Each structure stands twice: as C-alpha cells, then as structure tokens.
Chain A
C-alpha cells in the first residue's frame, strides 16, 4: 500500500533522513523504531507532506505522492496524529472531530448552514468508538494530556482514512493509559480495517503490537522485518536494544 524508497531529507547540512526504506502492505500494523533523533518524525512528516523530500520516492497505492501538500495527501486517505499535542484548543471536543469529518465530506466551504446540525451521527460515532462521547461538549484545551492524545487519534479518524499514521500515540502517558490506548488503537485497526504505521519508544509495546518493524538509525533504515527477525539482528541489539 505504501512504499518509501531511498528517501533523503536534510535541514542545512544535517541529513535527518538519509536513505529510508519502508514497505507497508494493506491491513498491516508496522512500527518504526530507533533512538531519539533517528529521523522517525521527519520520515512521517515527509510521508504526510509537511516536509518535502530532497530525493527518493513515496508511493501510495502505486501513485507517487512525494512533495504534495498535506491537504492533498490527506484526501488520498492518509491521516495522522502528531507527537506533540496538536488539537484545536479553543473548540469543543465535538467540533475538533467534526471539522475533520466536514473536511472529509467536502463541506468545509459551506457558508450558510449551521454546522452544528451537520454530520452529527458520523462525528458521534467516532467519539463513541474512542470513548470521548460523554465529554463531547467540553473545550478541548481543558482536557488532560491523556484525553488530548486520544482526541488526536479521533481527529485523524474523522477523515475516514485507509492509512493511519500515529507518531508516538502514548508519549507522556502513564503505563495504564498506555496499555488502554494501545488496546484502543489495535481494536480500531481491526474494526475499521485500517492500515497502521506508528512509532513508539516503549519496546515491549512495539514488539507485541506490530506485524513488522522498521529500525532507523541516523536517518537510515537498518533493517525491516518481523519482530523475531528484528530481535535477532545484531546491529539492532547493539544500536538500540542494548545488546544483552
């Protein structure tokens, strides 16, 4: 479904992504891991169009999407959440998700109909599936960190994506919240038939959730394979897991 070939992106002299390769098949859960500064977030930003690659190709369903603007890529079926909180703090929880649903249904430029009566069912269904329905009318900015991270995912679901990218969905969460969130993500993936690409610091979560894992170091792909293959790889053990 998604293929990244030899992607390179630099900020000045620093090559944040320097030869990344990645293949994600339809319906798979794929994780990207690597030490801080390995270029995981940059890779995601390149895929979703927030950054333009210097060279290399990104193919989504066979079509080259590298260098397209984020809103075009989103309409092709790729939605994402961000590592740092990235919601609409002054809007209510309901509105946060509804804006995405409206965009998905191409209603964003509609001028003379009240938005609050539009696409309510669709929005509520998403809020319900992530368990935020009872907080729908609260102002998003007043939410706890954990709930805001969940809201992030809900906004991304508002675009009814085929392909979901989650950048550290559990960053800053307590162990209990982390378990609950990953359970939620897994359930959503199955329920909605999503293809999922995510990155995460917690190694245990990665190995228990992902079908396949890609390991990055200094912007390069070291290995791409099943959890077992990755676990056995010596380079990975030295570079990342600590070689015990």
Chain B
C-alpha cells in the first residue's frame, strides 16, 4: 500500500521510534507516560484539523466541537446505555462524523471567514447544550468516573491503547492524503475555480473532507475519555479549537507531521512552564510570534526544508 509513497530511511526511523514508544512506560515515570498519551491525543486531533485546514484550505475554526461530540458520545453511551462496550467505542467517532456532516452542510454554503463564523456559532450552540443540560450531559460538572474495560484502565494500559489507535489513524490519514481524494482536496485548496473547471464538485469534496476530519476528531475524543475517564463542556469550547489551530501553525500546516510537533511543543510548554506560573500563555505567545516571524512554514516545515537542501547539496557533490 505504501509502495513508492514513503522513503526507506524514513520508514526505518518510524519503526525505531515506535519501538521506543512501546518500551517507554517501563523506563519513565508514570507522569511522563500520561503526558505523552495526552500529546498523542492532541496530536491526532490537530492532525485531523490539518486535513481540512492545511490540505483542504478551509477555515475550520471550531474543530474542537467534533472532538467534544466524540468524547460526550462515548461517555453518554457508556454511562447511560447497556450496549456492549465495543459498540460504544465504534459508534462515538461516527457520532462525531454525523455532527461534522450536519454542521458542514450548513457551513459549506459560505466561504472563508463566513464559513468560520457560522461554524463557531453552531459549535457554541452545542457547547451551550452540554453546559446547560444538567439532566443529560451533567452540565458544567460534566460526567466523571466513567468506568473503562479492565484492559484500558490504568495509565500504561490506556497509553498502549492510545498509541495503537494513534498509529492506525495516522496511517489512515496518510493514505487518505496520498489518495486521489487527497490530491484533489489539495488542488481545491490551491485553486477552487480551476478545480471546478476540471469537473470537480468542489463543495461536495470539501464537505466529505470535513466529515472525515470530524471522524478522526471523534476518535481523539474517545481516546481522551480513555485517558481521563471524564468529560466536561470545555472540550467543546472554542478556545480549544483555537489551541489546536495554533498547534498546526506552530508545527507547520503544509506538512503531514507538523501538527504532532506543534502538539508536543504546546503541551510540553504548558506542563513545564505551567507549574511555575499561570501566565504560561504569555510565553507561548512570544514563542508563537517568533516562530511565525522566523519560521513561517512552522517548525517541522523548516526542518523539512533544511533536510531537503542538505540532500540536494549531497546529490550535487556526488555528481
């Protein structure tokens, strides 16, 4: 399936990385295992966002909603129904995809900032619902102490589950991006008018992109619940959507792996500086400004460019 789409050296580095990730819980303190697991959840969420923002060129400004819907869906299914657990786990991402379809159908009629505005309003509506409907969603208290199957409870068990699902989702996202659907989505980002002129129903294509992105956001939501065992309305709040947008920017939004780097930087900063001062966002702001000024393609975009230049230099000397 990957034939010709991935470099041999890159593949090797990925396998080594994965092996290290697999033995990590045995060598580092539990707190750091937990931190890495949260980074993976956020990274998956940011990558799903980047599918529509970086590669789709859409102003998806309230992507957090689909994460929240996925998280609430599994929380409600696990606590309010007696359905088999695996059905709950599988249905939750589809609930997020459905939310993506409904919100997307309304938003896609508009473009650019109007798209963003209507999405923020519709998303805030869902947030208000989760925040106010005490009887069903637990209101601003949220739902706590959601019991997980034994195989998923405890930090290291949930870490392994999150890691496996994360890797599977990343592979799926990668394949989607390299598929005809993915290249057409990027073509529509580059030039919508031209894309219609070559026979593509651009709006339908973009809507499909939103649904796929929402699905993966829903998966991230499920992983969050696996890790934390609770949900609360903040998951649907627009500041979270902004945060993941910043992760994409920080890491580099025209690159595949950028959002992972962005999520890692942001969560590490919050943890390392957050324990010393509550004004950690001030420092984040300064770093972000510097990155945008000096590395406009983001951290990973910059590294990729340097690697490419070095490779070209080597090829040049070899001639």
Residues of chain A having any CB pair with chain B under 8 Å: 48, 50, 69-71, 74-75, 79-80, 82, 86-91, 95-96, 98-100, 102-104, 107-118, 155-156, 158-159
Contacts and interface: CB of A to CB of B under 8 A. Distances in A.
Which of B5, B182, B184, B193 is packed against the most chain A CB atoms within 10 Å?
Answer: B184
A87 B199 contact: no
Nearest to A81: B197
A75 B179 contact: no
Contacts of B180: 102, 107-110, 113, 115, 118
B3 interface: yes
A89 B190 CA distance: 6
Given A86-B191, A88-B190, A114-B1, A70 B184 contact: no
Contact of B198 (A50, A107, A112, A155): A155
The 7 closest A-B pairs by CB, nearest first: A74-B199, A88-B190, A70-B196, A100-B198, A99-B187, A110-B180, A108-B184
A71 B178 contact: no
B176 interface: yes
A109 B208 contact: yes
Which secondary structure characterizes the binding site on chain B? helix
B183 A98 contact: yes
Contact of A115 (B178, B189, B196, B198): B178
Given A115-B180, A116-B5, A87 B200 contact: no
B119 interface: no
A91 B182 CA distance: 12
B164 to A, nearest CB: 19
A99 B197 contact: no
B94 interface: no
16 contacts: A50-B196, A69-B201, A74-B196, A79-B198, A86-B194, A86-B197, A88-B186, A90-B186, A108-B180, A110-B179, A110-B180, A110-B181, A112-B176, A115-B180, A115-B183, A158-B198
A38 B55 CA distance: 38
B179 A111 contact: yes
A91 B5 CA distance: 15
A108 B209 CA distance: 12
Nearest to B199: A74
Contacts of B183: 91, 95, 98-99, 102, 115
B132 interface: no
Nearest to B4: A116
